[in-house]
Each structure stands twice: as structure tokens, then as C-alpha cells.
Structure 1
């Protein structure tokens, strides 16, 4: 875009942009301030839907009535369009979770098309179960008396719940020990001791770090070493998930790792003009900001090098940070603030109590004196 922002779109077989899809993806990217990676995921999903419509002779405006057939097509049609013969023992080419992600993107597009008068309102009835509050018991309708509509997706596949486990301290230390550079050690610490997401980590600028006891020279009133996590456009595609900026204090281990990394970085002349904190030091393009994919590649290599019993993802380090906060007695609102969540309840899936904390919780239960007396 002329503003410098970028987004993904969908083209037809003649390589012409599909106008209504393009309008939806632009509104998603710039109107709703979603990340570029979000428009990519939605564009891929909508592209698959339009491809199915074309190959089965359907018009996309009327195809939602056959959404069940679209699900079957997704299950047994490869990305190159070759079908897989369904039958006992044949594995679908896409998982239930992947199909549900595609359906979510398609529903978003179709809902937008109805609002934009590009599709009939009956489409909503084909993709959602529509109801209003009058269907609810009186006790559940609320006191306002206002009529509110409820939507529930008609088509979705049951998928197994796969909660993300925390990275244990032992696993984090093992990853740290097999790092071959000061930069990689800093990455492990910022993920596990500051709880940053990958997009936040790779989007950090050197100017986001305030490392003095008194940061008045930075026009910052926050005392002590800390990092500002800011949502902005980045040339490497990184983006902070939360629209709200937050501040995360940094401990002495992270500060020490930063000192060693800055010394290492001075050996790369190409990185001197780059304000991004993390840059390529060992592969081309030298001095360019690291990408999300590079963080994933690093962790895959570290897990193999450390000979761990299971692969550890960068996000599991964030879970480990939240769990360590809870184990040390941090309140839920403190964990919320450090993780950058909108609500304290959003932090609950990140809490994985240690065995020691579970034992301590049981030991804190008082024992009635009468039970002691009966036992004796």
C-alpha cells in the first residue's frame, strides 16, 4: 500500500484481484488493525473456498448451502487439487483443527459479504444457527429487555484439545546451555524470563529497552531496567498481538545477556544502522532483522542439540514464565499485566502449578484438632 502497510489478497484464474475478497481483507488488515499474518491465513482459507466453488461448478454466493460438501473436499483433496480416495483407514489430508480454521476464515468473509450487500442475507442462516434472547429462559434474558441475537457456527469438526504445556526450568536451562551465540542466549531468556511472544520479540527495537535505574533521559518515568512492548508496523512482518502497549521489567540475567549480545553485535558492521534489537549475525542478509521463522528454526535446532525428550516451542517458554510467576506468589492481575492480556482470566491457561506448589497448597489446609485427637 502507499502507506507502507501490506496485506494478503486473493486473485482468480486470470490473476485479477477478487474485489469483494480484497475489500474484506483490506478492512480486516487496516480497519480492524489485524496482523499481516492474519490476512494471509484468511486469504488462504478464502482462496480454498473459491477454488472448491470453481472446480465443482458453484457460485460462491450460493455455495454456503453445501458447506458440508466443502468440508469433505477439504478432508480429501490435496493442495495440488488431486483427490484422495476416502475409505477405512485413509487419513484426511487436513486435520480437524486446520479445517476449523479454514471454516472460520470463510465465515468471516461471507458475513462481510452480506453486510456489504454482496450476498443475500440468507447466507447467514446457512452458516450460522440464528436465535435471539427470547428463546432463553426468563432468568437468562437479563433485565434490560433488549432483543439480542446470538450466532453459532453450523459447521465445525470436533477436535481434540491440546493444551500447551509449560517449558520446565530444566528444559530452559538445557536450551540455554547449547546456544552457540550471545544472541541466541538472549532470545531464550527474553522468552522465558520476560514472557514475550515471538512477534513481540522480533519486533523489538533497541530504543524500546530502557536499562538505567533512572530513565528520565528517555523521558520515561518507570524506574529500573525494562522493555516497552509496542504494537507497530515492522519490515520483517513481526507484530505485537495486543493493541495496548505494556512494560516488562528485566532481571539481572537478561541484562547480562544483553551486554554480551551488544558486544557480539559490534562485530557485524551491517547491523549498526538497524534499530531492531535482534538481527541476522550468521546468515544473509547480515544485519537484517530476524523473522518469526528464524526463531522457530532456532528452537528446533536447540531442542535437537539439547537432546530433550520432547520439542519445546517458544510459546512454551512464555507459559513457563507465567507459571514461575504464579509459583513465586504473583497475583493474577500482576500476571495479566506482564503477559499483556486484556483480562485476568486470560492468563489462566498459562498457569501450570509445579508439584511443589500443589504440595504446599495441601499443606496449608489446617488439620482439625478433633481429627488429631481421634487418631491418637
Structure 2
């Protein structure tokens, strides 16, 4: 038996997908392989996330990470996850940093590949575990003292100009995680204009090309795109007949809890995103393609199955990810995923001097801090600034 097989067999907890009978939404649960029972604390946490309006993808991301923590605690001598200490969590953090990402692949039924986690990934694991323990503390499932000692008060030395510190400076303190991996600040990965163009051109179906174009021009999340209805597409010069006072072609992004495909807009506040003529023409062509497929026009969803699965049913996340990855491979763009188009659009807006508040509204960010990650300065812009400055310097010989 290989070391890899031994490590996989050590996993006691794994995650499985379940469907809520009332809503049809998917939720991920943690199973105990020893008893074949659902772990109640993790189940309640998943239902809490679902009730709080978190997307299926968020729950699917959190629960396997919680399972990794439970597996680690189960195999760590003297460690009980219900009474875990900061010192023990520091050991868990070291485990995440030092151990290849293998065992957690087994928690969701996969085999995975050995790879070292980045500091950002380690922090995402810690966030999921801290949120799980905080929920258990608030719900009375564990002693609240366990979750309270995971954070510490920290004095804010620098604050935004509009921040109110209070009369006695009482708001200059924030509660931050006790443990955090040190991340190297780096801009998000983006695509070049050529890569975006090649990927869209590599789409075999008109529907697929329209999806890629829409993502690249609007910067919307894939869940937002898959939740679009045809009534959200206001592509007339004047939309007053549709009950909308906004001028010009635009798309309304609306959060709906009852989408049949589980798609969910992250923000509860709706927004609209202007689009150009190329998107309007691509949408028209996609509608013509759709009308040629029997039973595909019955649904109000913009993106529906046309050639596989239940024809006319709204497209699910897995199908959308698959078509994006296939287009990327044909365009020789490795590891392409839908969110790269969002990163690319946001970076393009900021680099073209779009005010950050405008970019924030377009992206649907609740806080400007989320948008500020795109304000990095590229090496090309820094070099151009230095060269412009050098051109004004006169050297005296």
C-alpha cells in the first residue's frame, strides 16, 4: 500500500451533496464514515449558511475545509475540535502549510494531486474553520469561549477618511483572527486582450461565445450570469416600455433565491451594468440559435441547455465551467475559469482611469476595499511613468 493510499484511508469525515426538498437547492454535508451518519454540527452550519443566503458554491467551498479540520483533529493526539485551543490551531495551520493538498481531496470523493498551498489558500481554510467554530459557539453547540479566543482586539493605526472613530476612539479597535498566514501582495491574475478574443473565437456554439463575451465586458460573476432571465436584458435604446427608466442597452443583475439551477447573485442589492453593441448583437444571434432547438424557447432563463442534459433547462455551474475550460484549451489559455474574466474587466476599468466608486458599482462590491485589490500598478505603467519623468531631465555635461 502506498503512502498516498494510507493517507486517504485516514480520513474519517467526507462531504456529500444533498438536495433540500422544499427549495431544490443543493447543500453540502459532512458524513462520518465510521457511523455513516451526518455530522449534526456541520449540518447545522451548512443550513445556517444556506439560510443566510450564501451561494451553493460558498457552502461547497466551506464544508470540505471544515471536514479537513475535523479529520486533522480526529487524528491529532489530545485534540478535540470542540475544545480546540489557539496553540492547536497553530499546529493545524502548520499542517496546512507543510502537508501537500492530498487528504482533503478525499473528503469530496476525489484523489487530487500533491501540491503546496499558497498563503491565501491557507487563510481561506482558516476562515472556514473560524466561521464554523464561531457558529457553533453562538448556537450553543460548543463553549463560546472556544470561538472568542480565536480573535483578538487590534488597534487601527490607519483608517479611511470617512471613518468615525467615536468620541473616545472606541471604534479604533477591530477584532481580527488570531492566526493568519502571511500573504505576499500580488495583483489578481488577468487575461490579455488577445487571450480574451481568442477564447471567445474558440467557442463552438453561439450561446457559449455570448456567455464569454458577456462575462468579459460586464465583469459579472458566473452565478449572476446563469441566473439572468430574458426580462433582465434591456437592449432597446429606450426601455421605458419595459418599465425601466434607464437609457441605453444594459443588463439587470437580480438576486433570486429560487433559481432552478442554484445560481445566485452574491449581493442582495440589484444593479444594472451597461453593455455595448457587440453584446447586443451576440445576444440576438444566440436567440436565433436557440430558436432552432426544439423546446429551448419555453424557459425565461438566458442560458439554457441546448444540446445536452434536459433541453431548455437552465444551465448549471458545472456546464458553464466546462464550456469555459474547453474554449480555453482550444485557445491555448491554460487553467481558464469564469472568474478570470471578472478580474480582467475590473483591472481594465481601473487601468483606464475609471473612478473606483464606478468600478465598485459595476462589480457589485459592497465595500470599496473589495475593489481596491484591482488598483495595483502594472510594471508597464510604472516603466512608462519613469520614462516620462526621465524625458524631462536634462543632463549637464
Structure 1: segments with no counterpart, 5+ residues: 82-90
The Cα shift of 1:180 comes to 1.6
**Residue 102 of structure 1 pairs with residue 148 of structure 2:** no
Q: Which residue of 1 aligns with 2:90?
A: 68
**Residue 9 of structure 1 pairs with residue 33 of structure 2:** no
Quick check: which has more Rg, 1 or 2? 1
Quickly say closer, same or farther: Cα 1:322–1:232, change in 2 above 3 A.
Answer: same
What is the TM-score when the length of structure 2 is the normalising length? 0.76
Note the alpha carbon deviations across 1:109-167, whole angstroms, 9 max, x for none: 11222223332243136533x3466x989xx9955237566433333334555532332
Q: Which residue of 1 aligns with 2:249?
A: 225
Q: Distance in 1 between matches of 2:44 and 2:178?
A: 25
Note the alpha carbon deviations across 1:290-333, whole angstroms, 9 max, x for none: 2233333223222322234x554433322332344345553322
3-state SS in 1 of match to 2:299: coil
The Cα shift of 1:363 comes to 8.8
Q: Contact (CA 8 Å) 1:323, 1:353: kept in 2 or not?
A: no
The Cα shift of 1:95 comes to 5.1
Q: Which one is further off, 188-197 or 346-355?
A: 346-355
The Cα shift of 1:263 comes to 0.6
**Residue 173 of structure 1 pairs with residue 192 of structure 2:** no
Quickly say closer, same or farther: Cα 1:304–1:2, change in 2 above 3 A.
Answer: closer
The Cα shift of 1:206 comes to 1.2
Q: Distance in 2 between matches of 1:95 and 1:375?
A: 50
**Residue 118 of structure 1 pairs with residue 121 of structure 2:** no
3-state SS in 2 of match to 1:8: strand
Quickly say closer, same or farther: Cα 1:338–1:325, change in 2 above 3 A.
Answer: same
3-state SS in 1 of match to 2:85: helix
What is the TM-score when the length of structure 1 is the normalising length? 0.80
Q: Distance in 2 between matches of 1:292 and 1:120?
A: 38
Give runs of aligned pairs for residues 177-256 of structure 1, distance below 5 A. Answer: 177-233=201-257, 234-256=259-281
Structure 2: segments with no counterpart, 5+ residues: 1-19, 108-113
The Cα shift of 1:267 comes to 1.5
The Cα shift of 1:253 comes to 0.4
3-state SS in 2 of match to 1:342: coil
Q: Which one is further off, 54-63 or 97-106?
A: 54-63
Q: Distance in 2 between matches of 1:153 and 1:356?
A: 36
Q: Distance in 1 between matches of 2:119 and 2:55?
A: 24
Quickly say closer, same or farther: Cα 1:358–1:121, change in 2 above 3 A.
Answer: closer
Quickly say closer, same or farther: Cα 1:218–1:164, change in 2 above 3 A.
Answer: same
Q: Which residue of 2 aligns with 1:78?
A: 103
Q: Contact (CA 8 Å) 2:293, 2:306: kept in 1 or not?
A: yes
Q: Distance in 2 between matches of 1:73 and 1:328?
A: 42
The Cα shift of 1:190 comes to 0.4
Q: Contact (CA 8 Å) 1:9, 1:39: kept in 2 or not?
A: no
Q: Which residue of 2 aligns with 1:87?
A: none
Q: Which residue of 2 aligns with 1:284?
A: 309
